[in-house]
Structure 1
Amino acid sequence: MCQHRPPCPSADASDHDAARLLVFYPEQGWGLLCNGVIVFDDTGELLPDGRSIPIHPALSEPTAA
C-alpha cells in the first residue's frame, strides 16, 4: 500500500502509527495513515482489518499544571 521510500511501517508493525498521514479531518477528529490505519484525536486507532486499539489514557488525559 505504501509508496514511500523507505516504506512506512505496516499496519501490523508495533510502530504502525509512525506511517505518514495521508488525509486529516481535524473537524471530525480523525486521520488516515498510508498503511490504512485510522487514527483518532483521542489516541484510539482502527486497523485495516477492523481491529480497534483503545485510547491510550496516559496520552489522552490532560496533565496537571
Structure 2
Amino acid sequence: MCRPPAAEAADRDTAVVVSRRSEQGWALLCNGVLLCDDTGKLLPEGRALPLLRPVPASVAS
C-alpha cells in the first residue's frame, strides 16, 4: 500500500482524491489538502497556497 505524500511536501497534489464536488469546484485529497479550482489550495493546518497558473508566452516576454 502506498503512503500519500505529506501535505507539506512539494508533491502534495499527487495524493488520491477522496471526495470531489466538481459543481462547487473543489476536491479533498487523502492527505487533507483541499484543492480549489479557482483559488488554489488549503492545507490541513489552515495555510492557503495560491493557484499557480502558467504565464502565457506573450505576457512573459
Range into which the TM-score falls when normalised by the shorter chain: 0.7 to 0.9
- TM-score, normalised to structure 2, is 0.82
- Structure 2 distance, partners of 1:57, 1:11, is 20
Structure 2 residue 24 is the aligned partner of structure 1 residue 33: no
Considering only CA atoms, is the larger Rg found in Structure 1 or Structure 2?
Answer: 2
- Structure 1 distance, partners of 2:45, 2:36, is 16
Runs of 4+ in 1 over 6 A off after TM superposition: none
**Cα shift at 1:42:** 2.5
1:19 partner letter: A
- TM-score, normalised to structure 1, is 0.78
**Cα shift at 1:17:** 0.7
Among the aligned pairs, what percent are the same residue? 46
What SS does the aligned partner of 2:18 have? strand
Structure 2 residue 50 is the aligned partner of structure 1 residue 54: yes
Note the residue ranges of structure 2 that are not aligned, 5 or more in a row.
Answer: 57-61
- Structure 1 distance, partners of 2:28, 2:39, is 13
**Cα shift at 1:51:** 0.4
RMSD: 1.8
